[in-house]
Structure 1
Amino acid sequence: MTAWRETSSDGRALLVTVLLTGLTTFMFLPLLAIELTGRGVAVGEAGFLVGLLAFSGQAFSLLTGFLVDRFGPRAVMAAGFALRIAGYVLLGVGGGGLSASLVGGVVTVGVGGSLLGLAIKTRLVAEDGVGPRAMLALRSTFVNIGVVAGPALGAVVYPLGFRYILAACVLSHLILGVRLLARPGAAAARPRPATVAPEPPDGRWGRAHWLTLLGLGVTYWAIYSQLNVVVPIAALAMTGSTAAIAVVFTVNGVLVVLCQYALLRHVFARAANRTLLALGFLAFACAYAVLLAHAGWFSLLVFALPVTVAEMLIGPSLDEQAIRASSVRRTGIALGAMSAAGAVGSLAGASLGGYLVQLLSGNDVWLVLIGVSVIAAVTSLLLPKARVSHA
């Protein structure tokens, strides 16, 4: 990959960190509910803990962004490693029931992940000679390698005991933390001066434009969260197999690993972010339109293609748009705001998706999602192209 060759040795070390932390995260995350119920935790309480982990990883992202801008990625990264290690230890020593160590461990792992992830992302988009779009695409590719390989590796290790997985998480974070923080360059931000890019007279960013962008972020995660709520229910009904949704996620992860970088760096290299957002939301509409046919496995496998295109286009484009529209000294807050929008969208989408299934019948749920996707696509075109270029 061109971006990999152009990335500094410190940037490559951070990308490897993204891969390994993602790998260990997805070793334990799919098995967490199974492990908790096996320890005697009630199913409802186990669900609460899993949800609390996701909430803790996103809800404080705006504060995390402020900390990155105020103290720099190095300090925030160190705190992230420390909190994650402490959290994994607490999960390991936690017993049955909704104990303080389990709750504390879940929250600590989540907050630590927020600190670590945002600090690394902020540092990566400041790479010299590599644009934010290429770095965000490369980062997403490395994340998804962990998403694909992590569950399989976790399944292999789990028979030995869940604490072996947690031990692997602690050891990997300890080694990576020492490796990165021992070399100041790997964790220190090296921001490039922001330069104002040519734009049409109406291409200025105001409060309304920022609210529109954040609203699109909420909408994206609300639509995407249906892969965890509505789609699994529909997949089971269409195929009769509980493994159907796992197949969708596997296809999704493999496609992102293979195509994410090429799609954004080569196919859409010159496209404006608002164009990518519009195309992404239209891909969502196409994906959910496929499910109108109720054609069993065929519908489900075809659905995985446009929904993956939507993910590959929208996620990095939201972050890049926020970066380009913000001051270089407020990159952390801009990325944190988009992550916070994701937290709101995920929670709202998961809740509303469940109610849609209860209230609507037949294809009505898919029609609602198609309509929301099309509205979001049109709304994306209301955004200015960009105000600030970090180049």
Structure 2
Amino acid sequence: MSAATATPPRARPRPSTWSRTSATGRALLTTVLATGVTTFMFLPLLALHLSAAGTPVGRVGLLIGLLSLCGQGFSVISGLLVDRVGARATTTAGFGCRIVGYLLIAAGGPALVPGIAAVGIGGSLLVLSVKARLVTEAAAHDDTRGMLALRSTFGNVGVVLGPALGAVAYPLGFDTILAAAVLSHLVLGFHLTFLTKDEANAEAKNEAKNEADDGPAAPHPPHAADRRPAPERTAAPGRRGPTVLFLAAVAYWAIYSQLNSVIPLTAKTLTGSTAAISVVFTLNGALVLLCQYTLLRRFLGHLPPRTLLTAGFAAFALAYLALLPHAGWLSLLLFTVPATLAEMLIGPSLDELAVTTAPRRRTGRALGLLGLAGAVGSPLGAGLGTHLLQSLHGGPGVWLTITTTAALAAGACLLLPRTAR
């Protein structure tokens, strides 16, 4: 066969993120799954446990709020620790803090408040440090987006499995759930502290040692992988970049918080069924688990994160517009699909922009600021949303206000720096 008529070889499919991840990266992803399961075994049942122990309802609310405040509000300090003392040491501290917290909660009495605070702070340390280590693992393979999407998928598996396992274990006693959390954290903490190494960091240290011993390395011809634009870092974003990114994250959490505050009430009004919100969350979870990784890595992998962020907020705007006709189950289902698409696009894109625009030694701080945005946006959005719902009696003004907010956030995302893919 002549060269002119020869069929060009078919390009090999890109290996999956899991198959390219080191043993340490896989252990970190397993940690995301296991801590997600134990957290959501524990969290939905905490209020029931406190009430059964005779805690007044008002104090139960304050204790649940303390857990959330320590988890998200501590994120900036967690990010600083990641940058200053290292992600590995911060991971170990997070496991230790959570184990102590669970034990204090089991003790009850005066130990309850510091125990809940320790669980929240430990969770913040774990989330930030594990995410930073996964980003470092992914950078060696030019697969930051795939890793962030895979991490989100593993986390959502924990969100789905945790409440079910918690419901099964609860008849055995709340201490059984706490014991499972402590045991899993001991095993994972020991493994990540003593039995694994951060391969990307070890490689960098070896290169630095070799250069110190042998002098600067001789220049070498660029490998094919080196000729591609590196997405892991971009040009300096200027002063407006971090500010716009932080405000976009606040807007995301403010809009997303409606799923826990306004939408449950609206779902019952639209359908007359208290089970309607369960349908929304079940469909939302199934779509995220089945579609997020494939969507972000295979179908939208060529698009810059700024574009995905803009599209995500536009999807939020469409979702809340679907509630305007007040068409019962149809409106609710038409809301759920674009709202889930927005969740799938915005969360990982915020993380990707944070780690690709921040200086290398400030990755933890950048991720910590996104956590702080959640601490600001979630209560702000929930409070304003329920106020609008009450004052406007669930009329179209509620959905037009949220839609306008999402549209403004989409426009603001166009001010973010461009990043190469």
TM superposition score category, shorter chain reference = over 0.9
1:358-379, Cα deviation, whole Å (9 max, x unpaired): 2223121111100100111111
The structural deviation recorded for 1:247 is 2.3
2:116 pairs with one of 106, 111, 117: 106
Partner of 1:151: 163
The structural deviation recorded for 1:295 is 2.4
1:22-75, Cα deviation, whole Å (9 max, x unpaired): 001011111111221121112222122112211111111111111101111111
Q: Does 1:20 align with 2:52?
A: no
Give matches, 1:61-72, under 5 Å: 61-72=75-86
The structural deviation recorded for 1:207 is 1.6
1:237-273, Cα deviation, whole Å (9 max, x unpaired): 2223333222222221221111111111011111111
The structural deviation recorded for 1:183 is 2.1
2:312 pairs with one of 246, 267, 280: 280
Distance 2:277 2:385 in 1: 16
Larger Rg: 2
Partner of 1:292: 324
Of residues 79-88 and 287-296 in structure 1, the stretch that sits farther from structure 2 once superposed is: 287-296
Q: Does 1:325 align with 2:357?
A: yes
Distance 1:300 1:190 in 2: 50
Partner of 2:414: 381
1:321-343, Cα deviation, whole Å (9 max, x unpaired): 11111111111111111111111
The structural deviation recorded for 1:163 is 1.2
Give matches, 1:27-176, under 5 Å: 27-95=41-109, 100-127=110-137, 128-176=140-188
Partner of 1:345: 377
1:148-198, Cα deviation, whole Å (9 max, x unpaired): 111111111111111111111111111111111112415985697999969
Distance 1:90 1:12 in 2: 31
Secondary structure of 2:418's aligned partner: coil
1:275-295, Cα deviation, whole Å (9 max, x unpaired): 101100011011111112222
TM-score where L is the length of structure 1: 0.92
The structural deviation recorded for 1:131 is 1.8
Partner of 2:220: none
Of residues 184-193 and 72-81 in structure 1, the stretch that sits farther from structure 2 once superposed is: 184-193
Distance 2:87 2:236 in 1: 29
AA partner of residue 174 (structure 1): L
Q: Are the equivalent residues in 2 in contact too, given 1:158–1:165 (CA < 8 A)?
A: yes
Q: Are the equivalent residues in 2 in contact too, given 1:73–1:189 (CA < 8 A)?
A: no
Secondary structure of 2:323's aligned partner: helix
Q: Are the equivalent residues in 1 in contact too, given 2:24–2:196 (CA < 8 A)?
A: no
Secondary structure of 1:292's aligned partner: coil
AA partner of residue 372 (structure 2): A
Identity of aligned residues (%): 55
CA separation of 1:238 and 1:3: change in aligned 2, threshold 3 A: same
Secondary structure of 2:136's aligned partner: coil
Q: Are the equivalent residues in 2 in contact too, given 1:197–1:386 (CA < 8 A)?
A: no
Structure 2 unaligned blocks of 5 or more: 1-14, 208-225
Q: Does 1:247 align with 2:279?
A: yes
Structure 1 unaligned blocks of 5 or more: none
Q: CA RMSD in A?
A: 2.3
AA partner of residue 373 (structure 1): A
AA partner of residue 384 (structure 1): P
AA partner of residue 136 (structure 2): A
Distance 1:231 1:114 in 2: 27
Give matches, 1:183-262, under 5 Å: 183-186=195-198, 189=201, 204-262=236-294
Secondary structure of 1:293's aligned partner: coil
Distance 1:59 1:348 in 2: 14
Q: Are the equivalent residues in 1 in contact too, given 2:22–2:199 (CA < 8 A)?
A: no
Partner of 2:399: 366
Tell me the matched-pair count. 382
Q: Are the equivalent residues in 1 in contact too, given 2:136–2:200 (CA < 8 A)?
A: no
